[in-house]
Amino acid sequence: MQKESFKKQYSKEQRLKESENILKHYQDRVPIIIEKDKNSRLPDLDVQKYLFLSNFRVFQLNTLIRSKLNLNKAEAVYLFVNNKVALRGDMSIKEVYDKYQDDDKFLYIQYCEYNTFGF
């Protein structure tokens, strides 16, 4: 069963207050919400909310998610923002944040699987 989305758990005002507080205290970091795509069969992450250094790269995030999900080598993880824009591995988290942050000042990233060998 999929976890309830962060946006459904908290009002926009609550989310905005929290993100502004984070950005005020951690100016070199980016507040991110990572959620499983609604059609994905992958497990949910234990934690949805993360704080990454601005220079952290998408490929590093992908590696972290793969590790937390204990995926086998035949499964790839794809990361998206706004449920449609695929992220390039060489992008910094700050670049992605600046371009795609939500009105509540969090960056929402979705992950899903793609079985590279068709099994």
**Can you give the residue ranges of every domain in the chain?**
6-115
* Contact present, 107 and 96 (Cβ < 8 Å): yes
Residue 41 to residue 114: CA distance in whole angstroms: 10
Phi/psi at 17 (nearest 5 deg)? -60, -45
CATH architecture for segment(s) 6-115 = Roll (3.10)
Between strands 29-36 and 49-53, the pairing is antiparallel
Per-residue pLDDT tens digits for 81-107: 987 899 999 999 999 999 999 999 999
Paired tokens of 40: 């994905």
Per-residue pLDDT tens digits for 29-57: 999 999 999 889 999 999 999 999 999 99
